[in-house]
């Protein structure tokens, strides 16, 4: 039985801030950040946008592409590290807004930037097990970086949603693989507003020592080589890491560039590799194979191999495409507006 | 302060844009109501509003009330939807000086307000330029 993606959608907020604008405030050298992290600008959510609102929009795009009734969805899993409530699920609101309640299983997931692919993994596994016909996995974040920290140049906002099913599958999931160890490279303690990280430790042994082994395990398990794939997508904490990880595995720039959104989007954390996948699905052709590996600090990676089917051409333009949302009509803001939008200014309390 | 009961009660219209269509005369009410003011019927069927429309009129809020100061200046307009229904709502993510009568807009799901720093978050519809 072929199980995989039957509908997908992404959402990108309209506001952007450029690396130069952030560097100017902190006396940092913008060209160094741009070259070192391969980042140019990042998305910024409006004050009225959060994980829930972006998830609803992405899920609605996925529903449009799937052509199914929302009440056929048997589960909703939203992965994020910026759920608006500490206690109360994001998934209940999203499910109600898209019309998928009440006969639906729901859980919010957290695993730093890997929570989105966890939702996809579990949603797909439930369909594969025959527990339900359709399940929805979403990766979304309005990520925070402390003022002046290196993370502030990358922490962005966005969402991607995937409806998993077994009929009219757009992209069949052929193989999965997971790789995980306890590696404390990035964390946020309870009641803390901003996350902390271990500087260069976040590269090796964190990101690279999980993404690359997960990728190798996926290639080994599937009996494939990088030449068997048209597209490859990796988690994008910045522009540099995914390219380097992909090259280590044997993938070319050509295979990676369509899903490589970080230079103009930033790091959307749980939405990062899922949004890259959505950008690839926007242009993929029947028969194409997609290689995807996520990464979440803490640390772990989820790997997927998708094979695109004939169904894809019917839906690619049925909802807003990911790069189209990224490139069309951005509103550039200055650091003051950014600080206001992201709640970085201490206000008088009511 | 809106509170949980009202927020919960208004979900159909705020989350899913569900209007009431009079079974007697087909007049559409948004938000839904119990009695049709045109024919007196008390029977309605649910109709989901069109998701796109045009700006019929708008004003710019320069001095925002508490809870909306982060977004000022912002536009509030009357939108004529493609199904003829008129809805009053905020028009988000636009520069006030760029907004024009007749602009095409579409619905987006947004946070409308929140009950202070520890209360319920209220979600619903706003419009953005299409």
The per-residue b/e assignment along A244-281, b for 16 or more CB within 10 angstroms, e otherwise, is: ebbeebebeeebbebbbbbbbbbbbbbbbbbbbbbbbb
Judge contact between A160 and A78, C-beta under 8 A.
no
> Count of CB atoms within 10 A of residue B66's CB?
8
Q: Which of A46, A48, A49, A51 to probe by mutation at the B interface, max B CB count within 10 Å?
A: A48
* Residues A148 and A182 occupy one common structural domain: no
Residue A346 resides in a domain: no
Residue A120's nearest CA partner among A272, A315, A312 is: A272
**pLDDT at residue B69 tops 90:** no
* Residues A116 and A210 occupy one common structural domain: no
Q: How far apart are CA A49 and CA A54, in angstroms?
A: 7
Q: What percent of chain B clears pLDDT 70, i.e. is strictly above it?
A: 100
- Chain A nearest CA to B107, separation (Å): 10
* Residues A135 and A62 occupy one common structural domain: yes
* Residues A27 and A149 occupy one common structural domain: yes
Q: At what angle do helices A208-222 and A240-249 cross, to 10 degrees?
A: 40
User: What is the band of B70 on the pLDDT scale with cuts at 50, 70, 90?
Assistant: confident
* Residues A200 and A163 occupy one common structural domain: no
Residue A300 resides in a domain: yes
Q: Where are the alpha helices (H) located in A153-299, listed in sequence order?
A: 208-222, 240-249, 253-256, 262-265, 272-281
* Residues A158 and A216 occupy one common structural domain: no
Q: How far apart are CA B3 and CA A62, in angstroms?
A: 31
**What tokens does A175 get?**
């193989």
Contact yes or no for B123 and A15 at CB 8 A: no
The strands making up A298-308's β-sheet, listed across from edge to edge, are A105-109, A73-79, A134-142, A157-165, A4-11, A171-183, A298-308, A289-293, A231-234
Domain that holds residue A195: 171-312
The CB-based long-range contact list for B11-16 (8 Å cut-off, 24+ gap) reads B11/A96, B12/B46, B14/B112, B14/B122, B14/B123, B14/B124, B14/B125, B15/A93, B15/A96, B15/A97, B15/B109, B15/B123, B15/B124, B16/A96, B16/A97, B16/A99, B16/B48
**Residue A251 β-bridge partners:** none
Q: How far apart are CA A222 and CA A307, in angstroms?
A: 12
- Chain B nearest CA to A15, separation (Å): 8
* Residues A195 and A111 occupy one common structural domain: no
pLDDT in tens, A267-286: 999 999 999 999 999 999 99
pLDDT on residue A350? 61
Residue A327 known to be catalytic = no
pLDDT in tens, A30-47: 999 999 999 999 999 999
Residue A347 resides in a domain: no
Mean pLDDT computed over every residue of chain A: 96
pLDDT on residue A347? 85
pLDDT on residue B67? 83
Judge contact between B7 and A97, C-beta under 8 A.
no
Residue A348 resides in a domain: no
Contact yes or no for B121 and A52 at CB 8 A: yes
**What tokens does A323 get?**
């790069």
pLDDT on residue A317? 98
**What tokens does B29 get?**
């009410």
Contact yes or no for A56 and B121 at CB 8 A: no
**pLDDT at residue A159 tops 90:** yes
Contact yes or no for A84 and B121 at CB 8 A: yes
* Residues A11 and A153 occupy one common structural domain: yes
* Residues A234 and A207 occupy one common structural domain: yes
In this prediction the ipTM stands at: 0.96
Residue A282's nearest CA partner among A294, A290, A293 is: A290
Average pLDDT over residues A168-176: 98
pLDDT in tens, A187-208: 999 999 999 999 889 999 999 9
**What tokens does B25 get?**
């005369």
From the number of C-beta atoms within 10 Å of its C-beta (0-12, 13-18, 19+), residue A310 rates as exposed
CATH number for the domain spanning A263: value is 3.40.47.10
Longest CA–CA separation in chain B, Å: 45
Report domain extents, chain B.
Answer: 3-129
Residue A74 resides in a domain: yes
Class of domain B3-129: mainly beta
Longest CA–CA separation in chain A, Å: 61
List the single residue in B with minimal CA-CA distance to A345. Answer: B70
Within 290-349 of A, beta carbons closer than 8 Å to B belong to 329, 331, 340-341, 349
- Check if A16 contacts B (Cβ < 8 Å): no
Q: How many helices and strands in chain A, by DSSP H and E?
A: 13, 14
pLDDT in tens, B10-28: 999 999 999 999 999 999 9
From the number of C-beta atoms within 10 Å of its C-beta (0-12, 13-18, 19+), residue A346 rates as exposed
Judge contact between A90 and A55, C-beta under 8 A.
yes
Beta-strand (E) ranges in chain A?
Answer: 4-11, 15-18, 41-44, 73-79, 105-109, 134-142, 157-165, 171-183, 186-187, 196-197, 231-234, 289-293, 298-308, 331-332
Q: What percent of chain A clears pLDDT 90, i.e. is strictly above it?
A: 96
**pLDDT at residue A121 tops 80:** yes
pLDDT on residue A348? 80
- Check if A47 contacts B (Cβ < 8 Å): yes
Q: How far apart are CA A80 and CA A88, in angstroms?
A: 13
Within 96-125 of A, beta carbons closer than 8 Å to B belong to 96-97, 99
pLDDT in tens, A218-239: 999 999 999 999 999 999 999 9
Of A41, A61, A113, A311, the active-site residue reads: A113
| Candidate from A235-239, A307-311, B93-97 with smallest mean pLDDT | B93-97
What's chain B's Rg over C-alpha atoms? Answer: 16
* Residues A164 and A224 occupy one common structural domain: no
Q: Which residues of B touch A99 (CB under 8 A)?
A: 16
* Residues A114 and A182 occupy one common structural domain: no
Q: What is the 3-state secondary structure (H, E, C) of A96-120?
A: HHHCCCCCCEEEEECECECHHHHHH
pLDDT in tens, A240-258: 999 999 999 999 999 999 9
- Chain A nearest CA to B27, separation (Å): 24
Q: Which residues of B touch A85 (CB under 8 A)?
A: 121
* Residues A55 and A158 occupy one common structural domain: yes
pLDDT on residue A258? 98
Q: How far apart are CA A254 and CA A244, in angstroms?
A: 13
Quote the number of domains for chain A. Answer: 2
Residue A105 known to be catalytic = no
- Chain B nearest CA to A34, separation (Å): 27
């Amino acid at each position: 039985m072929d199980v995989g993606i039957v509908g997908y959608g992404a959402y990108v907020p309209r506001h952007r801030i450029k690396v130069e604008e952030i560097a100017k405030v902190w006396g940092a050298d913008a060209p160094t950040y741009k070259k070192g992290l391969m980042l140019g600008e990042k998305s910024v959510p409006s004050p009225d946008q959060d994980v829930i609102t972006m998830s609803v929009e992405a899920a609605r795009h996925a529903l449009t592409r799937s052509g199914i009734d929302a009440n056929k969805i048997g589960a909703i899993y939203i992965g994020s590290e910026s759920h608006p409530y500490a206690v109360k699920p994001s998934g209940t609101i999203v499910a109600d807004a898209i019309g998928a309640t009440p006969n639906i299983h729901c859980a919010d997931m957290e695993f730093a930037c890997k929570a989105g692919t966890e939702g996809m993994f579990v949603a797909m596994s439930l369909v594969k097990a025959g527990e339900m016909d359709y399940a929805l996995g979403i990766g979304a974040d309005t990520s925070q970086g402390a003022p002046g920290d290196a993370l502030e140049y990358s922490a962005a906002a966005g969402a991607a949603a995937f409806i998993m099913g077994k009929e009219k599958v757009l992209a069949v999931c052929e193989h999965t693989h997971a790789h995980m160890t306890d590696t404390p490279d990035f964390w946020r303690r309870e009641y803390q507003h901003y996350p902390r990280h271990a500087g260069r430790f976040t590269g090796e042994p964190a990101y690279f020592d999980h993404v690359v082994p997960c990728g190798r395990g996926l290639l080994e398990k599937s009996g494939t080589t990088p030449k068997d794939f048209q597209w490859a997508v990796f988690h994008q904490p910045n522009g540099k890491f995914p390219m380097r990880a992909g090259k280590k595995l044997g993938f070319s720039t050509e295979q990676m560039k369509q899903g490589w959104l970080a230079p103009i989007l930033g790091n959307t954390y749980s939405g990062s590799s899922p949004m890259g996948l959505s950008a690839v699905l926007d242009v993929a052709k029947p028969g194409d194979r997609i290689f995807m590996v996520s990464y979440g600090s803490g640390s772990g990676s989820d790997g997927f191999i998708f094979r695109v089917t004939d169904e894809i051409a019917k839906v690619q333009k049925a909802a807003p495409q990911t790069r189209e949302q990224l490139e069309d009509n951005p509103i550039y803001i200055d650091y003051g507006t950014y600080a206001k939008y992201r709640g970085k200014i201490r206000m008088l309390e009511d | 302060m809106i509170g949980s009961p009202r927020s919960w009660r208004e979900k159909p219209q705020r989350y899913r844009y569900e209007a009431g269509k009079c079974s007697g005369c087909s007049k559409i009410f948004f938000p839904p109501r119990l009695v049709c003011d045109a024919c007196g019927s008390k029977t309605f069927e649910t109709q989901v509003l069109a998701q796109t429309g045009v700006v019929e009129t708008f004003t710019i809020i320069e001095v925002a009330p508490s809870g909306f100061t982060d977004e000022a200046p912002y536009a509030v307009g009357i939108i004529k939807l493609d199904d003829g229904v008129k809805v009053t709502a905020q028009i988000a993510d636009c520069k006030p000086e760029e907004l024009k009568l007749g602009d095409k807009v579409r619905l987006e799901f947004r946070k409308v307000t929140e009950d202070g720093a520890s209360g319920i978050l209220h979600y619903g519809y706003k419009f953005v330029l299409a």
